[in-house]
């Protein structure tokens, strides 16, 4: 016990000593400038942090409808300083689907040396939102090369945005957006990460997407993108969710590229601190809704969550000292 306490103290001291102020914006994709839907995971083999993201084609010329958010690869950025700075690494090697397939919003976990990705796939490149989408299961040993395992049988043929949560050593929950039910949040469960049973709807008070579940301060929380900031729910059993009154990241901040509401986020709990990685559309500040490269481009940001009296808040203008361990 004494050794564990000493180790914890040393980790906290190390984190404080070596923490750096995170870049703002944290990351912009150098290829398409459309980084969105971030998820952050530790690469055990390379001993660095990886950030996966939907690589929207914001700088596409001759845009036709929403084809720029289709045929999107999954980009990878990497950090060697605990998440304060990131550089472009490339794209995930995903062999499932054709050359015109669309990949959106991965969530990734590691279990017993194998990485598991649950990825939204659209079977083609389209100019509207009317086409089927599925969530597929892929595995990897290096976070670069991904092998297809299966397509999940879920509540409909228009499902997106998987979010994985480990309940215990024998049970996993997968939360997702069922677009055919007013974009409500559903969930499925599995004992082996391969065979899934759909369990139905869990959040339906408001439409939303990108559910992210985490455990913090002895309670389960879910962040959902409502397109007017991020809704925050809490739960004691992972099935009954209570929404807090105020969304976080609903109002724009003063930092570079951070003047609009936060969108589709990941939350990393590290040394009992909670960091939220989200993206913005900087060109849409002040109500600008026209379609142009500037309104399509997106930037990834990071902020720290705060917890008091059962409520989660987020001051996006506060400099973020970060050193993920």
pLDDT per position as a tens digit, 147-179: 999 999 999 999 999 999 999 999 999 999 999
> What is the β-pairing status of strands 48-55 and 74-79?
antiparallel
pLDDT of residue 12 exceeding 60, the answer is no
Predicted confidence (pLDDT) per residue in 32-83, tens digit:
999 999 999 999 999 999 999 999 999 999 999 999 999 999 999 999 999 9
Closest CA to 320 of 37, 78, 20: 20
Provide the 3-class DSSP secondary structure of residue 24: coil
pLDDT of 16 > 60? The answer is: no
pLDDT at 8 over 80: no
pLDDT in the model for residue 1: 58
Backbone angles phi, psi at 282, to 5 degrees: -60, -35
The length of the chain is 325
> Looking at residue 287, what is its pLDDT?
85
Q: Is 122 within 8 Å of 132 (Cβ atoms)?
A: yes
Q: Per-residue pLDDT for 5 more than 90?
A: no
pLDDT of 291 over the 70 cut: yes
Query: pTM of the predicted model, to two decimals?
Result: 0.94
Whether pLDDT at 14 is above 60: no
Phi, psi of 70 (to 5 degrees): -115, 170
Q: Which pLDDT score is estimated for 48?
A: 98
**Number of alpha carbons in the 13 Å side-chain half-sphere of residue 140:** 19
Rounded distance between C-alpha atoms, residue 23 and residue 281, angstroms: 17
Please state the φ and ψ torsions of residue 205, each to the nearest 5 degrees. Answer: -70, -30
The mean pLDDT of 99-126, rounded to a whole number, is 98
Q: How many helices (H) and strands (E) does the chain have?
A: 2, 23
Res 267 pLDDT > 90 = yes
Give the C-alpha separation, 154 to 198, whole Å.
Answer: 6
Instruction: Write down all domains in the chain, each with its CATH number in brackets.
Output: 2-322 (2.115.10.20)
Cβ atoms of 261 and 285 closer than 8 Å: no
| Bridge partners, 134 (sequence order) | 121
3-state SS assignment for residue 18: helix
Contact 248, 230 (CB under 8 A): yes
* pLDDT, tens digit, 9 for 90 and up, residues 120-153: 999 999 999 999 999 999 999 999 999 999 999 9
**Better-predicted residue by pLDDT, 289 or 23:** 23
Residue 110 burial by Cβ neighbours in a 10 Å radius (0-12, 13-18, 19+): middle
Residue 4 above 60 pLDDT? no
Burial of 270: CB neighbours in 10 Å, binned 0-12, 13-18, 19+: middle
- Which residues, 6+ apart, have CB-to-CB distance to 89 below 8 Å? 50, 76, 77, 78
Q: Is the pLDDT of residue 9 over 80?
A: no
Cα–Cα dist 29/55, whole Å: 7
DSSP 144: S
Contacts of 171 (CB under 8 A, 6+ apart): 189, 190, 191
Q: What is the per-residue pLDDT for 251?
A: 96
Alpha-carbon dihedral angle through residues 100, 104, 110, 116, given to the nearest 10 degrees? -40
Backbone angles phi, psi at 283, to 5 degrees: -75, -5
Average pLDDT over residues 89-102: 97
% of the chain surpassing 70 pLDDT? 95
Tell me, what's the pLDDT at 324?
97
What is the pLDDT, as a whole number, of residue 18?
A: 77
pLDDT of residue 289: 85
Q: How far is CA 136 from CA 40, 123, 158, 159, 168, in A?
A: 19, 12, 12, 10, 22
């Amino acid at each position: 016990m004494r050794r564990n306490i000493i180790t914890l103290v040393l980790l906290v001291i190390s984190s404080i000593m070596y923490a750096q102020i995170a870049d703002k914006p944290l990351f912009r994709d150098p290829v398409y400038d459309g980084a969105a839907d971030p998820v952050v995971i530790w690469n055990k083999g390379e001993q660095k942090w990886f950030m996966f993201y939907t690589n929207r084609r914001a700088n596409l010329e001759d845009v036709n409808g929403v084809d720029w958010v289709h045929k999107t690869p999954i980009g990878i950025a990497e950090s060697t300083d605990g998440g304060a700075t990131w550089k472009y690494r490339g794209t995930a090697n995903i062999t499932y689907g054709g050359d015109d397939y669309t990949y959106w919003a991965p969530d990734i976990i590691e279990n017993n040396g194998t990485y598991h990705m649950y990825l939204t796939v659209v079977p083609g490149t389209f100019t509207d939102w009317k086409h089927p989408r599925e969530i597929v299961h892929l595995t990897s040993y290096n976070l670069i090369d991904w092998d297809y395992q299966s397509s999940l049988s879920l509540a409909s043929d228009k499902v997106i945005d998987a979010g994985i949560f480990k309940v215990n050593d024998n049970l996993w929950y997968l939360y997702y957006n069922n677009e055919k039910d007013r974009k409500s949040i559903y969930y499925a469960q599995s004992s082996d990460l391969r065979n899934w049973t759909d369990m139905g709807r869990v959040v339906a008070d408001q439409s939303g997407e990108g559910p992210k579940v985490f455990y913090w301060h002895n309670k389960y929380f879910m962040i959902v993108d409502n397109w007017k900031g991020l809704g925050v729910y809490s739960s004691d059993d992972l099935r009954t969710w209570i929404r807090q009154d105020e969304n976080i990241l609903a109002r724009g901040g003063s930092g570079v590229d951070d003047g609009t509401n936060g969108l589709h986020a990941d939350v990393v709990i590290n040394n009992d601190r909670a960091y939220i990685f989200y993206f913005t559309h900087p060109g849409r500040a002040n109500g600008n809704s026209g379609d142009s490269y500037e309104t399509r481009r997106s930037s990834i940001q990071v902020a720290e969550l705060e917890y008091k009296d059962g409520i989660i808040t987020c001051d996006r203008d506060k400099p973020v000292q970060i050193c993920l361990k």
